[in-house]
Amino acid sequence: MVKISVVGAGMVGATLVQRLAESELGDLVMIDVVDGLPQGKALDLMESAPLCGFDVDVVGSNDYRDIESSDVVVVTAGLPRKPGMTRDDLIRINSGIIRDISSKVVEYASSAILLVVTNPLDLMTYAALKYTGFEPHRVLGMGGVLDSARFAYFIALELDCSPTDVQAMVIGSHGDMMLPLPEYTTVSGIPIRELLSSDALSRSVSRTVNAGAEIVDLLKTGSAFYAPSAAIVRMVEAVVHNQRRIMPASVYLDGKYGLKDICIGLPVRLGRGGVLDVIELDLQSETMDALHRSTDSLRTLISSLEL
C-alpha cells in the first residue's frame, strides 16, 4: 500500500487528507505540532469511512517516526502572515519550520517525493531542497496547478462554459509576479484568443493574479484551502499512479530557461520519480523577461534564508 504523509493538520493539510482518503490514494499520516489536533481530525475522518466507503488508514500524530517509509510527504505546515509581520519575518519563521521538517523527512522518509505547499512557495521549495539535500527531481512545490485552476475557472465564467473544458497554464513564481499564459490556454482545443475578447481575457488574468487575496479578504481569517487541496491531490495522484501528467510546479532549474540554482513554477512531467523533466516552452521575449525578473526578486529573498 502506498503511504502518504501530510505535515500540518491545518485547513489545507486536513482538507487534503480528507480528499486523499476519499479517493483511496494510499494510507495516510497527518502530523502537526499541536497535541491532539492531528489525532482528533484523523479519528473524525476515520469515523466517516463507513459512510463514505473508503478503506485506507488515517493516522494522526505528533511523532515524526510515523512518517517512516512514506512514498510522498506533503508539507503544509507554516504560519500565515499576520498583521505587523514583515515578509522577511514570515520567511525566517517558515524556513525554520521547513528546516525542522526537512531533517525529519531525511531521518524517516529518505526516499520520499517531497511536495512543498507552505508559503512563500518558491522560496520554501528551494529551502526544502537545500535542507534535505535530496536530488532536485524529488523536491517540488505546488503553486501553478492552483493558479491555473483559478485562471481556468475565471475564463469559464467569462465564457459561460464548463470549467472542465478549460486548459489553462500559469507559470512563474506563486505570488504577485505569476504569469498566466493566454498563448498556452485553450478551451477544448480552441485557442482562448479565438473565444474571448482581450478585455475579458485581461479581467481573467488580473483576477487570477489576485485570487489568493480575494479569498483572504472574504474569509477575514485564514486563506484558501478547497482549491489548494484539490490541486495537491492532482500532483500526488500523478506521482502515486505514475501518470506522467504535464502541469506547472515549482522546480529546481539548472540551466533551462537560462536559469540556474533557483526554484520557480514551470511545466513539468510528473510521475513516480517526481519531476521526470522540465518542459521548455518557447516563451515570448516579454514573458521570458518577466520570468527572469521574478527570479531576480526571489534571489534577493533567498539571501535572507539561513541555508
Q: Which residues are catalytic?
A: 174
C-beta closer to ligand TXD: residue 5 or 186: 5
CA distances from 241 to 2, 90, 195, 270 (A): 10, 35, 34, 10
**Location of C-alpha cell 487570477:** 208
Q: Quick count: other Cβ atoms within 10 Å of Cβ 40?
A: 14
Coil vs helix vs strand at 188: coil
CB closest to ligand TXD, residue no: 10
Output the CA angle 128-72-32, nearest 5 degrees: 70
The answer to whether the beta carbons of residues 167 and 152 sit under 8 Å apart is: yes
C-beta closer to ligand TXD: residue 42 or 196: 42
C-beta closer to ligand TXD: residue 13 or 196: 13
Write down the least CB distance from residue 6 to ligand TXD, Å: 10
What is the maximal distance between C-alpha atoms in the chain? 55
C-beta closer to ligand TXD: residue 153 or 225: 225
220: left (phi over 0), alpha (psi -120 to 50) or beta: left
Residues engaged in binding ligand TXD (CB under 6 A): 7-13, 31-34, 37, 76-78, 80, 97, 100-101, 117-119, 121, 142-143, 146, 174, 222-225, 228
